Structure 1
Amino acid sequence: MKCCYCGHLESKVIDSRPTDEGGSIRRRRECLRCGKRFTTYEIIETLPIVVVKKDKSREVFDRNKLVNGMLRACEKRPVSIQEIEKITDEIEASLHNSLDREITSSKIGELVMEKLKDIDEVAYVRFASVYRQFKDINTFMEELSKLLSEK
């Protein structure tokens, strides 16, 4: 690590601890040439995830869009914000852990529906109706039938 005072490239770590959020590590260093101390922060570098939409356009993954979609599906349902945040965290971690830097919006939609099905079936059907763009009552009934047959 380059000293911010004299520019020397060698220093030793005196103290190391995680930050309050746990997303980075704070390191107190001492320059081996001038002896002055300075602080550095080490963070995990994340590459952006690109979402490929149905029309083949691409945009950077936006966590807020995921949360807002689930909030609409869970409106007036007994699903807490904490549960929605937990689902969002799980999906986002899954996307970051995959080796793909591009993911289709349909894959994200499937992940959301899989999670919603476990916590609230009404929210699941609401999300599925918008996501799968049900054309008529028959396609809606087919989805409900599938849900009932899985029970």
Structure 2
Amino acid sequence: MKCPNCHYKSTKVLDSRPIEEGQAIRRRRECEQCGFRFTTFERIEEVPLIVVKKEGTREEFSREKLMRGLIRACEKRPVAVEDLEGLTLDIEKELRNRGVSEVLSKDIGEMVMERLSSIDEVAYVRFSSVYRQFKDINVFIDELKELIKHDEDE
């Protein structure tokens, strides 16, 4: 691999370790000419996963976009970022294991809500209000009643 500093064609690997539950490898490298050290990541090249939105438009699945939505829902809540990263990876893994090239945004939203309700109920209601586009306070109240009923059943 070329050195990003001097563009010499040969570097050596100093350290290599699995990350993202073994789905990627992080490598520390050093240029054999100038001694510059840098990090590279190796991942399996995956077939793009396309999300079909409500209005019929399509866009490539973005782990980062999903994570941003989760962080927004969990703002000022006692939820660890690691839990959200795990949830994001779990959802992406489940989607890719379906073996299809397109998924509905509705399915992703349902998967998020199912998992988020067990992590933090306030974050669940926040996410749900945006995802389901609550029109007024009565819809909020209905959702809260459903959440309370679900808790009582468990």
Interval of TM-score (by shorter of Structure 1 and Structure 2) = 0.7 to 0.9
Q: Runs (4+) of structure 1 moved beyond 3 Å?
A: 42-45
Deviations 1:17-61 (A, max 9, x none): xx523436xxxxxxxxxxxxxxxxx96442110000011000000
State the 1:84 CA deviation.
0.5
Matched residue SS, 1:20 = strand
Q: What TM-score does the superposition give when structure 1 sets the normalisation length?
A: 0.73
**What residue is the counterpart of 1:20 in the other structure?**
17
* 1:77 equivalent in structure 2: 77
| AA matched with 2:89 | D
SS of the equivalent of 2:17 reads: coil
- Percent of aligned pairs with the same residue? 53
1:102 counterpart letter in structure 2: E
Task: State the distance in 1 between where 2:113 and 2:105 align.
Answer: 12
TM-score by length of 2: 0.71
Aligned AA for 2:126?
R
Q: What CA distance in whole angstroms lies between the structure 2 residues aligned with 1:112 and 1:43?
A: 25
Q: How many residues align?
A: 116
Give the alignment of 1:8-87 within 5 angstroms.
20-21=17-18, 22=22, 23=24, 44-87=44-87
What is the rounded CA distance, in whole Å, between the counterparts of 2:97 and 2:61 in structure 1?
Answer: 14
Distance in 1, matches of 2:102 and 2:57, equals 12
Give 1 or 2 for the bigger CA radius of gyration. Answer: 1
For the residue of structure 1 that corresponds to 2:103, the secondary structure is: strand
Gaps of 5+ in 1: 1-18, 25-41
Query: Separation in 1 of the partners of 2:84 and 2:43?
Result: 26
What is the alpha-carbon root mean square deviation over aligned residues? 1.5
Secondary structure of 1:88's aligned partner: helix
Q: Structure 2 CA distance, aligned partners of 1:105 and 1:44?
A: 24
TM-superposed deviation, 1:133: 0.3
What secondary structure, in the 3-state scheme, does the structure 2 residue paired with 1:51 have?
strand
